[in-house]
Structure 1
Amino acid sequence: MSEFVAAVIQMRSGRDTGANIAAAASLIREAASAGATYVQTPEMTNLLEKSRADLFAKIAPEGEDTGVAAFSELAKELGIFLHVGSMAIRTSEAKAANRGFLFAPDGSLLARYDKIHMFDVDLPNGESWRESATYGPGEAAVVVGLPQALLGMGICYDIRFPALFRAQAGAGAEILTAPAAFTRQTGEAHWHVLQRARAIENGAFVISAAQGGRHEDGRETYGHSLIVAPWGEVLAEIDHDEPGFALATLDLSQVAEARRRIPAIANQREFSIRQTGRETEAAE
């Protein structure tokens, strides 16, 4: 099958994991009813909570997590590939994982991915984020085989690290993903250009479901969930920050065509860096 329908789910996750899972499930059902056979939810589908103490009071190890069980059952019920962009999963008393899950139509877990790049930044508007204080970074990139295509898993801040997506494309990935909870400030500046750049430079589809709006913990996210084609066209967008879903039909032949027209992956070469310029002053 060279074509299939993909959907992005946009959410405004809050502090109640049960309510968040229910909200996601409702939108997933709507997207599946509209014809989607692959559905993606955003980063932190199960919980957005700034307070570290409150976060750890609400999350569980993967084997005990109610969201993992619920989404597995939902994928099976609907007969879809369900990509839960990420959930907060306890890995120890002191650390959690920002972990994405991809469930098959029979409910089995096809792949999991722990976010590699931690969002440790101080923004010009005074916002300060230290993701590494709570979450342990992943160590491995993930490419998973679907019947339609190979799919590379990423999460949010990963989108700013082109080497991750180039490595996935080099391994054969035709679909790249970056489900996110982008801050409004960085989203307004960079969201669209980053998504389109990763698509264009790799000749791949990019699918990124997003959080949007003002959340219960006070943060504000950008929304604008996107599906981008290999030539850089935006195929689907939720053009606001409200919850909802959007669909697009992906024609996988466009990947081969884009890579034929601009064979950047095939033309890539290893190189060294030679540093030249003004010499430093000799020590006195």
Structure 2
Amino acid sequence: MSTRQLIPAQRAAEALGQRLREIRTGANLTGRVLASETGWHYTKISRMEHGGKTPTEEEIRIWCRICDAEDQIPDLIATVQSIQSMYQEFRRQTHYGMKRLMQVHVPLYERTSLFRIYEHNAIPGLFQTADYAAAMLSFWISFLDTPNDLEASVVARMERQRVIYQAGKHFSVLIEEQSLRTWFGTAEVQAGQLDRLLTVMSLPTVSIGIIPMMIERPCVSSTGFWIFDDEFVCLETPTANIEVTRPSEVKLYLRMFGHLASVAVYGKAARHIITSVAQELPSTK
């Protein structure tokens, strides 16, 4: 495990330990009493509370049962599950090419019914044109120094888009106006991408809101994020894919999405912003 992975995982383990300690003290139990009740050595209690040992799911259940805090079990177990997997490094995922990264979340897409998507500086991958995707992916292939499988990667990204036409799916999408003005490729590529966005807006499964620039707003999100069925959140940094599964944290992303949606415009107003941005592009003739 790299240092980049270890630091956030250790911090998460320490935060989990702090929550376990709060649960124990809230039950008016000392570490030695809890150790006696569980049959564990008291040093095991200390290691868990200080992040030196990540508890198993069964140990979480025992801890909460003895401390009369069984309502905390789902949240704590989700935390345990995410400590080792919260950071999936792009360079490891793309060791054999970018195509693999394009395919990682296909099973997740297939089993998700409601997608909530927020993007602040790019058009979401599910709605990208092949040319736009190629311009974006070519940079990441170079930046991450992965094998150059651009053509196969673009094909894989386009194949992922089939999910937006599947029955039983719904996509609630928020896009910052800045995303419409951020170019990947030429003006012609950007024009084609904006036209594609107008087309997918007409799909009955897709709701796209545009957050205008230069407006009063309640908040700003520091990064884009995707929420899958109110249960799982995925966001990306330049070097890693972060996965959030802890229910209380997922609720915060849902709250953030709601705040952002409160200032988005839809329908005719959203189309007007997109077409206005397209008209500002240099002539592609």
Regarding TM over 0.5, the answer is: no
Please identify which structure carries the higher helix content: 2
- The alignment's TM-score, normalised by the length of structure 2, stands at 0.30
Q: Which has the larger radius of gyration?
A: 2
